[in-house]
Amino acid sequence: MGAQERQQKEKLILEASIKLFTEKGYQSTKMEDVAKASKISKGLTYFYYKNKEDLYMAVTKKAFDELKDVFRDVIKIKGRNGLDMLTELSNNYFKFAKSNRMYYEAILNFMGLVQQYNDESLRSTIDPLVLESDHFKKLLEVHHDCGKIGTQMVVQGIKDGSIRPELQAEATFYTIWAMLVGYERLLGPVGYEGKDAKINLETWKPSFNRLLQDMLKGTFQAQKVQPVQGSLF
């Protein structure tokens, strides 16, 4: 079997699994379902992906690739300052999360796995089939790619003056990313009707964007930030 034919079959299996994971969920999807949907024998499906856990890690790798494209599409357009790029990135990030729910949940799941992986006392709680997956190992190598692009946006903003100069670029971007993840996770609670909190989705997003910009530009007056600290607050 040639390399091109192998890649085509891997693609068919991956596309079928993405469709099934989206429609049925990971837990309800079986490898035989994937084989049937991709019109490839079950045995050959296991040849390309050792088990469902390995397949899910492959899907997660594709999810990170798709998210990386979101970052690339923002930074490749010339003529904008760093703050504008980060503002557009935040909006596009939320669009990605909304329109690619299965991908986004896979990304968040992997982030949780890495937290367990980094703790020797918790690593043993990860499914051994996940740890054995070549796609999981590849994810460990590339999952910072988005962060590297985001950090470049902060660096650009510091250079062009749209972002305050005392900030440490990498720490700043990962703080922004944490805010984006937190905002997206709280959309449900904030949008749930019948709550006592005086907040709604219509007013929260512009407030979130304004707060993010104010922190990056340094318009807060309540506390003077010392340059050596490089703090967002």
The pLDDT tens digits of the residues spanning 157-192 come to: 999 999 999 999 999 999 999 999 999 999 999 888
Q: With beta carbons less than 8 A apart as the criterion, state whether 173 and 75 touch.
A: no
> What CATH number is associated with residue 144?
1.10.357.10
Instruction: Please say whether the beta carbons of 62 and 141 come within 8 A.
Output: no
Angle at 206 between CA 222 and CA 78, to 5 degrees: 95
User: Is 21 inside any structural domain?
Assistant: yes
Indicate the DSSP class of residue 227: T
Considering only CA atoms, which of 206, 217, 218, 219 is closest in space to residue 90? Answer: 206
Domain-terminating residue out of 49, 72, 89: 49
Residue 62 sits in the same domain as residue 4: no
Identify whether the C-beta of residue 99 lies closer than 8 Å to the C-beta of residue 18. no
Per-residue pLDDT tens over the stretch 107-123: 999 999 999 999 999 99
C-alpha to C-alpha distance for 100 and 146, rounded to whole angstroms? 17
Q: Could you tell me if 25 and 71 lie in one domain?
A: no
Q: Is 23 exposed, middle or buried (0-12, 13-18, 19+ CB in 10 A)?
A: exposed
Same structural domain, 93 and 200: yes
Both 41 and 63 in a single domain?
Answer: no
Q: Where are the alpha helices (DSSP H) in 49-168?
A: 52-75, 82-99, 101-118, 120-123, 128-131, 134-142, 145-160
Domain assignment of residue 223, yes or no: no
Same domain, residue pair 18 and 57: no
Does residue 231 belong to any structural domain of this protein? Answer: no
In a domain? residue 64: yes
Cβ(162)–Cβ(84) under 8 Å? yes
φ and ψ of 58, to 5 deg: -65, -40
Q: Structurally, how many domains does the chain consist of? A: 2
Same domain, 32 and 119: no
CATH code of 4's domain:
1.10.10.60
- Residue 121 included in any domain: yes
* Containing structural domain, residue 161: 52-217
pLDDT tens for the 233 residues of the chain, in order: 677 888 899 999 999 999 999 999 999 999 999 999 999 999 999 999 999 999 999 999 999 999 999 999 999 998 999 999 999 999 999 999 999 999 999 999 999 999 999 999 999 999 999 999 999 999 999 999 999 999 999 999 999 999 999 999 999 999 999 999 999 999 999 888 766 778 888 889 899 999 999 999 986 544 444 544 555 54
Cα end-to-end span (Å), the chain: 58
Asked, for residue 176, whether it belongs to a domain, the answer is: yes
170 and 130 both lie in a single domain: yes
